[in-house]
Structure 1
């Protein structure tokens, strides 16, 4: 017999599922509403459960829950990898490979995306790969829509392999542990996830691209202007002592050298066998992204390699950004050179290149960028510390164009990777719980300046925090009022007489459907106590049923709102709602059938 509190909590669960599926209502608002209703309701109408009076303040315990701490710390640690540019070499390698072997490159992209997502939040991985894959599609004259969705879904498949792969995994494992289930270790279910994931990856590699319409991707809002710049060759860099053809080959043929400048009077043609030497200046015309890429790949620099150059302090001072500034009619720079106005000392900026429209495009910089007489409409590409770039909008000396680009702390890449590996290994070898190792890792990233507190804030995701806290509260309410036992009983009633393997399969399918309508975290936390109740009713081990909930709740393929990375690839790939159904529905069926066969085999459930 259901009491009033149980009925109220079940009704609130239905309301929560409805609110979480409404795009017009901010997710954080819906979560706060659920928390407030639970706390106020149990305060005004006290409830005596089997273990005593339920304290309303207990519904806020999710904010200090181990799962939420781990989720937040891992989001910040992932931001550290993004901020240092540690993932960029992966993207560059894939872009380089794609021009030679498209099919193998697609497979490599899917595998790398999946493996990285087993340990890192998949959002930064998707954000990194979207522009790379769009550019690859443009260069190979293929459709980006056939690449982006398989890549996004591959990150979801990979995230199912470890306890830290997604916030959903962490939640399910933590809630199950609180309910007495033996705590899962990091790689406890990696084998069935890898086998089923391989089947899903084969579908994404060979079939999914052919099911998607060929259509152009959404163009990048940022205009990639072509800048004229000098690449200065420092002594000991890769380019020092190399032939021109070797340097060009290092950039996969993307570097186009106009002139090799050895002095104001001496300019050499970039013949393939010409040997470059320290202090040479390579005149190039390219986009800011490509210019910075050449710096990283070749070890060259976009500013003078001179100890007397007073811009070094501004380039090595804290977080760096790029900006574009336009020379207007009232600018004191108009008709002047950068050296004549003492640009670096006056503005604390370093100019890296100049853009000039039309037939007046700069053909040569014999005396260097600092001695170029600036004209009306010239745009300078400048770099400096973030606070200096942010202060530019207050100046009237020039007009700051929209958009700035944060530059990665490239020197911190090895350190950020070492810290991230430490987080994972400490948890994998059971030396520290993942929540503690992740918090320690974030502290190390802050102390070593891989990230700052601004990066910490950017790494955190408020809707994720709120959905985790509210889902834990709702799961607690279902447990203490007996709601989960009631739902489990109804499920078993419908499946009366079915073998345990079929019941497990049905539970996983229910979670797969639910996760595409509401938040995957909400579906997982609501489903976990139900799964444990079902296992107890069948007098079976709860582990396979908990894993069924975990896998089912991660099958967020059928709708764009099912997972935040789906929304990212929807916008970038110009997909429609039915494109997700077209690919996501068969992928869901494939994964559901694969796990329905594998889990009973691994956990010896009778069919």
Structure 2
């Protein structure tokens, strides 16, 4: 019979359960939950001090997460990864995939899976997914391959690749650092590359050969991101054919080929596009089509083509030899994220005309505030037009992630610097020349000195939610360890698995972490699970490293639900997937990786 834990341990266990529940509530920001957990620990242990063998657990130890080596490394790697993406260093990969796709879509899919997994072992997978999604949608449509057979496998491949190295994900760094704090020898960069590579190889084969066969056809919401199709407004002047005509008569004039999505009478009044709706001089007809057809409608109706409030004329032509249309993707940490184009004076700064906005998961039929006043989020795609030289200049500068189906993908002159810096950071840590926290911090300095990044980019690359989740999780882990809560959970776990072999115990621990990571924050699950894993291994007298890796790998199996990881949500929205699609493809992948590692880990560690 297990002894009842002390009051402080019981309180921390209760707080841990509440935290995990709150972390699973998507309506509550992760940073809010993290801050509340941290405050609860601080206030609780200040009001009710805890001492063990005469040593008092000081509340200031809960602040140590802000200066923890793992957090420093995570933040530094996020910044370096942002530099690699910002300079366009990875975009030639997208161009290569686009070329191969036209020749052999099946081979291209395998290359995309391998590339996604490889780069995600060293760079945060979110910008990789954001970079690849528009390319994959475009090449899939051109090769007449279902996007639903492509997007989810590539998204999952980035998650698989992330589990391969200590820097692959923030989860890996946290588990390794917490285990080191508990007295274990620190894992080096590639210490668990062998079991991870076996699991990744099995997973890649499943994503390549099986998922395309079991995934139903879905309509991607980004299927309309072609730069030849966009929203515009036809202004109806006095004397136009449509002036005073019904909508039905106006459509007949265009042989029924024009589709009117909305009628804007003034800045605040919208007329429903019903057949008997009367069009008046001064109205703006919201339509969507190719540039050539839009110009044809303009001539047919005697209207004037606008992009909402910007007139398309000699100064701003819609189709001209010197004009190009391009897509700009709003990336995480960029100036565009959580901002409006009007606030940042986009047109004045970049000399581009904004034509349309595409948002993952939302059919942008109308924009009451207009494109310029709509708040942008990571993953949004803005359709713009501008002079050929201006677009080329923006590509070279690398401030915006620009994708253009008619031109080569950007590759700035600083991309080679970014790649070299990332390689140096990885090699110096892998060869043991310096800890990853030191090499990554040095890498940030080099990114700034070589002007791959400026200080605004550095601030934009950091995520408040990641920082606070890490700090709160480390504080919880400290409280669990110091009060005996982790030991109690370990003994409770062993009590229910005492008749099982060591292999089964390790496998069940990994499965428990895999379940948790698909429901709550993977960082929180991993940090809380690591001291429990250490206690279980110690009680069984087995290699602690194997159980720590069980937590690490389990916390990376974020395949079964769309909310398990932010890239899953991006893929879900972009590909038009539904929740059941993740269960269909993700649950088998979780089971496959879990079973593979349940065999590989005990073999490698001799039990």
Tell me, yes or no, whether TM beats 0.5. Answer: yes
Q: Residue by residue, what CA displacement relative to the aligned partner does 1:162-181 show, whole Å, maximum 9, x if unpaired?
A: 11111000000000000001
Match of 1:125 in 2: 128
Distance in 2, Cα, partners of 1:102 & 1:330: 40
Residue number in structure 2 paired with 1:427 = 429
The alpha-carbon distance between structure 1 residues 51 and 121, as it changes in their structure 2 partners (threshold 3 A), is: farther
C-alpha distance in 1 between matches for 2:473 and 2:54: 21
Equivalent residue, structure 1, for 2:585: 583
Shift of 1:459: 1.3
- Structure 2 spans left out of the alignment, 5+ residues: 231-289, 292-304, 329-334, 356-370, 372-381, 385-390, 399-411
Q: Give the aligned partner of residue 501 of structure 2.
A: 499
Q: Could you tell me how far apart the structure 2 residues matched to 1:457 and 1:107 are?
A: 35
Judged with a 3 Å threshold, the aligned counterparts in structure 2 of structure 1 residues 60 and 582 are, in CA distance, closer, same or farther, namely same
Work out whether residues 98 and 105 of structure 1, in 8 Å CA contact, stay in contact via their aligned partners in 2. yes
- 1:327/1:379 contact within 8 Å kept: no
The gaps in structure 1 that reach 5 residues or longer are 228-285, 288-324, 339-353, 370-377
Q: State the distance in 2 between where 1:473 and 1:437 align.
A: 25
Whether the 8 Å CA contact 2:509–2:550 is kept in 1: the answer is yes
Indicate conservation of the 8 Å contact 1:326/1:399, yes or no. Answer: no
Q: Is structure 2 residue 148 aligned with structure 1 residue 159?
A: no
* CA deviation vs aligned residue, 1:171-211 (integer Å, no higher than 9, x gap): 00000000001110010010011012111111100001111
2:8 to 5, 8, 12: 5
Confirm or deny: 8 A CA contact 2:113 2:157 kept in the other structure.
Answer: yes
Query: Is the CA contact (8 Å cut-off) linking 2:105 and 2:145 kept in structure 1?
Result: no
- Corresponding residue for residue 471 of structure 2: 469
* Matching of residue 48 in structure 1 with residue 51 in structure 2: yes
Instruction: Report the alpha carbon displacement of residue 379 of structure 1 after superposing the two structures with TM.
Output: 9.9
User: Does structure 1 retain, via aligned residues, the 8 Å contact 2:310–2:353?
Assistant: no
- Find 1:82's aligned residue among 62, 73, 85: 85
Task: Name the structure 2 match of 1:107.
Answer: 110
SS in 2 for 1:508: helix
Deviation track 1:433-472 (CA, whole Å, cap 9, x = no partner) reads 1111111111111111111112112211111111111111
Q: Structure 1 length as normaliser, TM-score?
A: 0.73
Q: How many residues align?
A: 472
Alpha-carbon shift at residue 222 of structure 1 (Å): 6.1
Residues 477 and 221 of structure 1, relative CA distance in 2, 3 Å threshold: farther
Deviation at 1:141, TM superposition (A): 1.6
Asked whether the 8 Å contact 2:141–2:223 carries over to 1, the reply is no
Q: Distance in 2 between matches of 1:84 and 1:379?
A: 22
Q: TM-score, normalised by structure 2?
A: 0.73
Structure 1 residue runs of 4 or more that deviate by more than 3 Å after TM superposition: 220-223, 325-331, 378-383, 386-395, 397-409
Cα distance between partner residues in 2 of 1:328 and 1:554? 45
The aligned counterpart of 1:34 is: 37
Query: By how many angstroms is 1:50 displaced?
Result: 4.0
Which residue does 2:555 correspond to in 1?
553
Distance 2:200 2:327 in 1: 45
CA contact (8 A) 1:59 1:476 kept: yes
Within 2, Cα distance between the matches of 1:21 and 1:168?
17
1: CA distance, partners of 2:80 / 2:313? 45
SS of the residue corresponding to residue 25 of structure 1 reads coil
Residue 604 of structure 1 corresponds to 606
Q: Secondary structure in 1 aligned to 2:103?
A: coil
CA RMSD of aligned residues (A): 2.9
- Aligned positions of 1:71-470 closer than 5 A: 71-219=74-222, 224=227, 355-356=317-318, 362=320, 390-391=344-345, 402=371, 403=382, 407=395, 408-409=397-398, 410-470=412-472
d(CA) in 1 for partners of 2:414 and 2:352? 33
